[in-house]
Chains A and B, each alone.
Chain A
Amino acid sequence: MKRSELLSRILITVAVLATVGTPLFIWARTPLIHAKIAEDGGWNPDIIKVNVGEPLHLKLTSDDVVHGFAVGQMDMQSVDVLPGKVTDITLTFDRPGIYTFFCTRWCGLNHWRMRGTIEVTGASDSPIPAEPALGEVERVPMYVTLGLDIDAPHEAPVIPSSQPSASSGRKLAANLPIDRSTDYYRANSPYQVFGELSNTSMTDSQRWDVAAYLWQSNTTAESLANGQQLYAQNCAACHGENGAGDGVFADDLAAAGESSTQTMTGADNMTMQTPVDFTDPTRMLGASPALLQGKILRGGMGTGMPMWGSIFTEEQIWDLIAYLYSFQFNYQGVTQ
């Protein structure tokens, strides 16, 4: 064989092998966390393990559409996970426990099912003193201590004829001996407050105004803004941007309900799948903040309503609830 022929063959073989080998080698050593819509498998891997105090480096990429990444109950800015791009993020966990990471950008009807867990174990040789594990410090939710059945109907038998105004309620409440504590507000529905004021000389509409004031005085502009933001990012796609239960996925949920083979029976099942209308006074004015907290924490158990317990902090849930009542009450003209 001529030398030129031999050299050509060697050159071609080496070039092709290097073209295949080098990228394959680097690829195999780059562990990526792939994001796909839940229908196609969600996060992969969806279980990540790390020790307390050790920095966790993650490389996130999306295989289809825009996703986001955040860890529940953690003080962190969510990051976008973009198709074909790699997002680097480093996390450090101070407390052991099982954390939930989740998609933060709506990616379809089952967006909220796109979750995974980070198992943080306390390393015995960790120089950081062990802190109490996640969950151990949390209080028992209020709906449990109050013994509320959060699946029971909670309709207000009476509703106001016009939107209750917190500003007029404030003037009326000035001389009333009502309980303004946070615990009282959380444990009672606006209708219950309306009922307790029945022994006063106020008109129905005035009594609703007082309830509106009570609700308004238990929140702040800051909390409402925070709640509004949480609502827009997490709730509006189903419950509607104006709370009317007519979000872009409402029809899809109804269709999913119809075709669903879940155990609940026929017509009930379908209504269960429809997102709640927060502008409906019968439903909202009969619900206490504690009851709503329970629903948000636990989720709808198969109805399409996610459970948010492992994601939102307690404060975030109260902010969100305060915002939900603003679909019922007029908070205008009141300054904190």
Chain B
Amino acid sequence: MAFAPFPVRPVTPQERTFRIEAGQFSYTPSELSVNPGDTITIELVSTDVVHGLYVDGYDISVEADPGQTATLTFLADKPGSFRFRCNVTCGAMHPFMIGKLSVGQNEWFYRSIGLSIIATIGSIGYLMFPRLLPLITAH
């Protein structure tokens, strides 16, 4: 379950544009969902002070002043869930100004759930094993 190949639904790559407003200390919208292969354009609009947007895993960023919308275009070729975060110090809670980009389904999350299920069943089974053993060997 945790390692089986994931079913992949073929999707035609699209061009998507998101307008993200950045204000102390959040993005609106803060969660983006796209398909792998899509070309993403993020229009970053700062509404109070200078903010940035850095995408974990893709290692790309953009910086916008209020009144000067900045755009970041990239190919979402890595599937998974990525945090994006402000990379221009914008006040006290700056290190926690975070959003989330989902490229396709969050495969790693589902695999982790699978691992947890295996771990739970395994742990319970381990406990049961001494009790089950006589039953198995009796046959």
Contacts and interface: CB of A to CB of B under 8 A. Distances in A.
Direct A–B contact in the complex, CB atoms closer than 8 angstroms: yes
Interface of A: 37, 64-66, 82-84, 105-109, 111, 232-233, 235-238, 241, 247-249
B67 A108 contact: no
B13 to A, nearest CB: 29
Given A66-B49, A233-B65, A247-B66, 15 more contacts: A65-B49, A65-B91, A66-B50, A66-B89, A84-B89, A106-B46, A106-B49, A107-B48, A107-B49, A232-B67, A237-B66, A241-B67, A248-B45, A248-B48, A249-B66
B93 to A, nearest CB: 12
Contacts, number: 56
B88 A66 contact: yes
B68 interface: yes
B66 A248 contact: yes
Nearest to A237: B67
Nearest to B52: A66
B89 A106 contact: no
Contacts of B50: 65-66, 105-107
Contacts of A232: 67-68
Which has the most chain A C-beta neighbours within 10 Å: B47, B65, B88? B65
B73 interface: no
Contact of B89 (A83, A111, A235): A83
Interface of B: 21, 45-50, 65-69, 88-91
* 7 shortest interchain CB distances as A-B pairs: A237-B67, A236-B67, A106-B66, A83-B89, A66-B50, A65-B49, A237-B66
B50 to A, nearest CB: 4
Nearest to A248: B47
